[in-house]
Chains A and B, each alone.
Chain A
Amino acid sequence: DAGVIQSPRHEVTEMGQEVTLRCKPISGHNSLFWYRQTMMRGLELLIYFNNNVPIDDSGMPEDRFSAKMPNASFSTLKIQPSEPRDSAVYFCASSYGTLRAVKKLFFGSGTQLSVL
């Protein structure tokens, strides 16, 4: 199994530009999570999906952030317009079933985003 695949690995953009991060979960997994890692706050949950449906997006910082999961094998996290304070590592993770049942996540390698 290839694991959770994220692209791009690195993204450098200018303030005001649109950024789209992509994630392919492990085949067969039906829960998908987006996390953001910063030095100060560690790993913050932004949003998670179960069976392609957004369940909790309370961690999405602002309206500039949006996430979609059009099918079971693909999800995007979009930031528009991007700001320097959005610079962080963004992780996608997946699991089979809900965390209540599975109790652990499988993470991708992350996207290092730098907004200049």
Chain B
Amino acid sequence: DQQVKQNSPSLSVQEGRISILNCDYTNSMFDYFLWYKKYPAEGPTFLISISSIKDKNEDGRFTVFLNKSAKHLSLHIVPSQPGDSAVYFCAALLSLNNDMRFGAGTRLTVKP
């Protein structure tokens, strides 16, 4: 039962353009959402997060948007850089029982 879904396994964008990665979830009890970035042969590293009481959080080139009614969140990267090429995992946290669920990941390729 996939409670967190990333329906696009891959995304390719041109350097300087916007990258938009999408994530959907099914459990309305999730109260915190995170994005992790993973390079080959490394573990995922935390990138940015958002609480369910907010609809937007920005950190430099990275912005996460949350639409609770649609159970959807997205990560925007502007401008995209070749170093952003990695696999991005969406995660949702149910704080009450310490349960963090991950999506299958989206491989982003930023072309020079």
Contact = CB atoms under 8 A, between A and B. Distances in A.
Interface string B66-90: 0000000000000000000000010
A105 B101 CA distance: 12
Most chain B beta carbons < 10 A, residue from A31, A44, A99: A99
Contacts, number: 66
Contacts of A41: 2, 104
Contacts of A109: 41-43
Interface residues of B, number: 27
Interface stretch (B13-21, B54-62, B91-99): B91-99
Interface in A36-56: 39-45, 48, 50, 55-56
Contacts of B32: 103
B86 to A, nearest CB: 13
A31 to B, nearest CB: 8
A98 B100 CA distance: 11
B10 to A, nearest CB: 12
Given A100-B95, A103-B49, A45 B43 contact: no
Interface in A5-55: 31, 33, 35, 39-45, 48, 50, 55
Given A41-B2, A91-B44, A93-B43, A99 B105 contact: no
A45 B103 contact: no
Interface in A79-116: 91, 93, 98-100, 103-110
Contacts of A107: 36, 43-45
Most chain B beta carbons < 10 A, residue from A39, A56, A100: A100
Interface of B: 2, 4, 6, 32, 34, 36, 41-46, 49, 89, 91, 93, 95-105
